[in-house]
């Protein structure tokens, strides 16, 4: 029985995946690396510090991955503040969840300062009983820790939680946490078969029923 909904943030609550990609491409270009969307998709759903460490090792790059991560975060915050828009159907879903007495949490790979920027930008902070960032966990997604911590903070068994995710790493994390997972793949993603491990795949929050 579903007692709580745990939302991912980027690509689920706010249409920020394009902004993340824009920021990563810009910052990596600043360091002399020709980045593109396909490269960004390889690390989608990971914490930004894990993304920059991945590319430091992949490219055998001399840059400080922690510094690059901070630069990307700063650019993402700027872009969200200027361009961020909520995902279609979000406000209605939050209201429906409340009216059905479902507990609501957020569990994101993004840092707390980005999460705060989003919640303030969209004016939805009051809906979330628990807000959990994977930056406080030893491992980010696809490790299930951030979802398990969110469930624990809600005081609800993971098996009674429904996760909404847009990335494969997030879906894997939700399933590993023994939660029901609904996937909303980003528009235009060609490899939709990878989301078959989710309990349900939908096109928008408007389609979610509970």
Q: Which of 8, 15, 49, 166 is catalytic?
A: 8
pTM (two decimals): 0.88
pLDDT at 188 over 80: no
pLDDT in tens, 48-96: 999 999 999 999 999 999 999 999 999 999 999 999 999 999 999 999 9
Residue corresponding to tokens 């490790």: 143
d(CA 72, CA 111): 11
- What domains can you pick out in the chain, each with its CATH number? 4-15+85-207 (3.40.50.1000), 17-83 (1.10.150.240)
Q: Which helix (H) or strand (E) holds 108?
A: strand 103-108
pLDDT in tens, 99-145: 999 999 999 999 999 999 999 999 999 999 999 999 989 999 999 99
Helix H segments across 10-163?
Answer: 17-30, 37-41, 48-59, 65-83, 90-99, 112-122, 145-154
The pLDDT, as a whole number, for residue 191 is 55
The answer to whether residue 10 is catalytic is yes
pLDDT at 41 over 50: yes
The answer to whether residue 8 is catalytic is yes
């Amino acid at each position: 029985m579903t007692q709580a909904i745990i939302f991912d943030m980027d690509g689920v609550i706010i249409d920020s995946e394009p902004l993340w990609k824009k920021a990563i491409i810009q910052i990596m270009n600043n360091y002399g690396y020709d980045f593109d969307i396909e490269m960004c998709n390889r690390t989608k759903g990971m914490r930004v510090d894990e993304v920059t460490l991945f590319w430091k090792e992949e490219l055998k790059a001399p840059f400080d991955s922690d510094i690059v991560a901070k630069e990307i975060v700063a650019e993402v915050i700027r872009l969200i503040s200027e361009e961020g828009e909520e995902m279609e159907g979000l406000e209605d879903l939050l209201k429906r969840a409340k009216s059905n007495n479902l507990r609501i949490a957020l569990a994101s790979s993004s840092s707390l300062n980005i999460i705060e920027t989003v919640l303030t930008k969209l004016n939805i902070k009051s809906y979330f009983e628990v807000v959990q960032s994977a930056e406080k966990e030893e491992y980010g997604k696809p490790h299930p820790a951030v979802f398990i911590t969110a469930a624990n903070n809600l005081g609800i068994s993971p098996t009674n939680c429904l996760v909404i995710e847009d990335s494969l790493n997030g879906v894997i994390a939700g399933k590993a946490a023994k939660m029901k997972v609904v996937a909303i793949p980003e528009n235009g993603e060609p490899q939709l078969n990878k989301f078959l491990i989710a309990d349900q795949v939908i096109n928008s929050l408007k389609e979610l029923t509970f």
